[in-house]
Amino acid sequence: MPTPPHAIGFTLDPLDRVSEKRDDESFVAGLRDDPSTRFLLFVNNVPLFKRTRGHDPLFSAQEAATLGAPMQSVFLGRDAQGRALFASSFDTGAESLPEESAIEAIELRPIAMQGLVPPPMVSALGEARSMLDWHRRHRFCANCGQPTDSAGAGWRRICANCKAQHFPRVDPVVIMLVTDGERCLLGRQPQFLPGMYSALAGFVEPGETFEHAVIREVLEEAGIRCTDVRYYASQPWPFPSSLMIGCFARAAGTDIVVDEKELEDARWFTRKEVGAMLDGTHEQGLSAPKPFAIAHHLLKAFATGELD
Ligand SMILES: [Zn+2]
């Protein structure tokens, strides 16, 4: 099995999350007040950047205070320098930023795709985005419908009415490259960029192992039975809270039946074609996902023969 590279986006975790101290309120308050502490700021799930030197997402407490009181705050952890990082969300729009300010709101996806901040910071921004989005969408108790309050430095919500505790969610998604030896199966979702093909993917359902989910999804989407499912690597995908579980599998047949509700097209591609799609030299201009997505690395391991 090939070794997963570090280039997969959102996988280089830079933070010591100090999770055992989240309920120690004086510890967390002490970090919040420490002058070395930095804040990642989000407005409606979009991170803010200081544009004085490149794209700098680290704000001091004083700089963060100019946006007013945050709607939600989460202690993310300590970085390699020992500084504490918090994530804070605001409901003011980017339009409320001072006209002359050198602060810009830029969606995380292009930031990650274009490598505008170092990989460890991409991971911290991903953690922050998933956590803040979870708070935005879980303000009410799923058990009794009453409002909930943040606790544990932002890592759970508690219902004062029924005492239920709610924890941030992670949604597992399998993404699999199915091969028949010399060719691999790729599909196109209607919302993909024109000409782009990728590995098939789908959510793991309750009661399934990820191996079962791979077999079910490939049969549903492309009518191909597969076996020999092998785990490769995983990737947090903070849009909003998926965990991509990258796998390889072997096809037991080759006759494709496309599920047109899910896919626009699915077909077999040779190693040579996949190599050209990754390099951007495919004769018909077909392309594959970029290196920050785990799909790229599944395809690359196949194209280079690393998988054999
Ligand atoms: Zn409740």
Last residue of a domain, one of 169, 188, 219: 169
Asked whether residue 86 falls in the same domain as residue 117, the answer is yes
Ligand 1 centroid–CA 130 distance in Å is: 23
The reported pLDDT for the residue numbered 93 is: 59
Asked if residue 7 belongs to a domain, the reply is no
Ligand 1 centroid–CA 268 distance in Å is: 50
Q: Would you state the structure tokens that stand for residue 241, as one six-digit string? A: 């809270």
Asked whether residue 147 falls in the same domain as residue 122, the answer is no
The reported pLDDT for the residue numbered 308 is: 74
Q: Would you state the structure tokens that stand for residue 142, as one six-digit string? A: 């799923």
Asked whether residue 125 falls in the same domain as residue 187, the answer is no
CATH, residue 132: 3.90.79
The reported pLDDT for the residue numbered 95 is: 56
Ligand 1 centroid–CA 134 distance in Å is: 17
Ligand 1 centroid–CA 160 distance in Å is: 7
Query: Which residues of the chain fall short of a pLDDT of 50?
Result: none
Last residue of a domain, one of 137, 161, 186: 137
The reported pLDDT for the residue numbered 98 is: 61
Say if CB 190 and CB 197 are below 8 A apart. no
Ligand 1 centroid–CA 156 distance in Å is: 13
Distance (Å, rounded) from C-alpha 220 to C-alpha 226?
11
The reported pLDDT for the residue numbered 174 is: 98
The reported pLDDT for the residue numbered 7 is: 75
Asked if residue 213 belongs to a domain, the reply is yes
Asked if residue 12 belongs to a domain, the reply is no
Ligand 1 centroid–CA 158 distance in Å is: 8
Asked whether residue 216 falls in the same domain as residue 241, the answer is yes
The reported pLDDT for the residue numbered 157 is: 98
pLDDT digits (tens, 9 = 90+) for 205-218: 999 999 999 999 99
The reported pLDDT for the residue numbered 306 is: 87
Asked whether residue 86 falls in the same domain as residue 148, the answer is no
Residues with CB under 5 A from ligand 1 (ion): 141, 143-144, 146, 159, 161-162, 164
The reported pLDDT for the residue numbered 49 is: 95
Asked if residue 36 belongs to a domain, the reply is yes
pTM of the model: 0.93
Domain, as residue range, for 214: 171-303
Q: Give which of 180, 171, 163, 143 is closest to 238, Cα–Cα.
A: 171
Distance (Å, rounded) from C-alpha 128 to C-alpha 122?
10
Asked whether residue 202 falls in the same domain as residue 157, the answer is no
Last residue of a domain, one of 116, 137, 158: 137
Asked whether residue 213 falls in the same domain as residue 255, the answer is yes
The reported pLDDT for the residue numbered 197 is: 98
Distance (Å, rounded) from C-alpha 103 to C-alpha 111?
15
The total number of structural domains in the chain stands at: 3
